[in-house]
């Protein structure tokens, strides 16, 4: 029987080499071997984020990392602006308000995007300067990514000292992301998407500005307090027992990323993404919005549930539906994962054939 292939927006398929690494007996988290491996992971994560700044690792999901960052970088009473273009941008104000921040939310409908001029106008019209600006780079809910470098440049023109925090959960290891060059302060991701690992770790890049802010804040959480995480990491340790098997898996995945190279990895995602978009377009099926998030193709389809069932039962391809109000009218196909080119199956052609069959019968 043909095996099922996982093509959701996350978690994604994990390469056998990474699975094999994680299947080893656990290392003791204070052993010299694990400490040496941790240093390698932290260093290789700098490569993934294209930064010389510190990257911290925490147990939990990408949302754990985002909550930890917001709680650790900002003090109660600070003012932040959240620009949202989908479900994950909508979550950021909820987190921030729970930690006593004053939040201005500026949003566009799911499937739409926004540009630097729009951001600059909203920030210029604020009655008081923002202490932080938070955004989502690539929206998993809609398949739309923002032009992050031009937008961060606009933020710096209006709010030069503001913390710029970015959800990069669906862009790290997927499409161009330049932490230092784009002058970001906080970038948070999980490991279960572009890094193609089993889920369970959050990774966060922090600028010198962010590290200074974190050092000056009083602790409002215990395990999520980044100052504690940073202090222990500088000593080569984790503050609490980490998921050691996931660290071994992440080390293997990051080695693969470096072997292939960032630019080649980004290009491969773009090629797969473009091929799937073009296949759907040939049947008159549009994307939800401008297809600019390279890790996911969000298609507007009638009978989404039925089409997804056919793709699973006939072609053994598991894809996702839309989120929330888009559950029945959107189908989302992930282009991320460590087994697209594993030599056992021409997966892209298989996806295209499945789409051709399902969308042709829909016509």
How do beta strands 317-318 and 320-321 pair? unpaired
pTM: 0.96
Query: 103-151, pLDDT tens digit by residue?
Result: 999 999 999 999 999 999 999 999 899 999 999 999 999 999 999 999 9
Confidence of residue 330 (pLDDT cuts 50, 70, 90): very high
Taking a C-beta distance cutoff of 8 angstroms, is the pair 106, 122 a contact?
Answer: yes
- SS3 state at 118: helix
Indicate the domain borders of the chain.
Answer: 5-12+261-362, 16-259
The CATH fold assigned to 16-259 is: 3.40.640
Query: 196-250, pLDDT tens digit by residue?
Result: 999 999 999 999 999 999 999 999 999 999 999 999 999 999 999 999 999 999 9
How many Å apart are CA 304 and CA 167, to the nearest integer?
A: 28
| Mean pLDDT across 76-104 | 97
Taking a C-beta distance cutoff of 8 angstroms, is the pair 351, 317 a contact?
Answer: yes
CATH of 5-12+261-362, one of 3.40.190.10, 3.90.1150.10, 3.30.70.100, 3.40.50.720: 3.90.1150.10
Helix or strand (DSSP H, E) at 167: strand 163-167
């Amino acid at each position: 029987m043909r095996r099922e292939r996982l093509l959701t927006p996350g978690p994604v398929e994990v390469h056998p080499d990474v699975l094999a690494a994680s299947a080893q007996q656990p290392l003791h988290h204070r052993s010299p071997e694990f400490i040496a491996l941790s240093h390698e992971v932290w260093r290789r994560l700098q490569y993934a984020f294209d930064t010389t700044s510190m990257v911290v690792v925490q147990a939990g999901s990408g949302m754990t990392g985002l909550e930890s960052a917001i709680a650790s970088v900002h003090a109660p009473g600070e003012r932040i602006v959240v620009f949202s273009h989908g479900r994950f941008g909508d979550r950021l104000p909820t987190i921030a308000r729970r930690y006593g921040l004053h939040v201005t939310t500026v949003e566009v409908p799911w499937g739409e995007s926004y540009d630097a001029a729009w951001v600059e106008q909203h920030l210029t019209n604020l009655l008081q300067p923002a202490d932080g600006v938070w955004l989502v780079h690539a929206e998993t809910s809609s398949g739309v990514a923002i032009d992050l470098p031009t937008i961060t440049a606009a933020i710096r023109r209006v709010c030069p000292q503001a913390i710029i925090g970015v959800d990069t959960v669906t862009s790290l290891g997927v499409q161009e992301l330049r932490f230092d060059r784009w002058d970001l302060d906080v970038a948070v991701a999980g490991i279960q998407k572009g890094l193609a690992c089993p889920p369970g770790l959050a990774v966060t890049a922090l600028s010198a500005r962010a590290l200074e802010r974190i050092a000056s804040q009083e602790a409002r959480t215990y395990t999520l307090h980044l100052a504690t995480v940073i202090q222990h990491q500088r000593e080569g340790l984790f503050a609490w027992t980490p998921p050691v098997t996931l660290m071994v898996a992440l080390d293997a995945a990051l080695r693969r990323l470096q072997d292939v190279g960032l630019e080649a990895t980004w290009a491969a995602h773009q090629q797969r993404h473009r091929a799937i978009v073009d296949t759907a377009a040939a049947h008159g099926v549009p994307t939800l919005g401008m297809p600019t998030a390279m890790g996911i193709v969000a298609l507007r389809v009638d009978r989404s549930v039925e089409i997804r069932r056919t793709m699973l039962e006939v072609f053994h391809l598991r894809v996702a539906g839309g989120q929330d109000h888009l559950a029945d009218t959107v189908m989302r196909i992930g282009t991320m994962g460590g087994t697209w080119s594993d030599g056992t199956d021409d997966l892209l052609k298989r996806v295209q054939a499945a789409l051709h069959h399902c969308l042709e019968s829909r016509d």
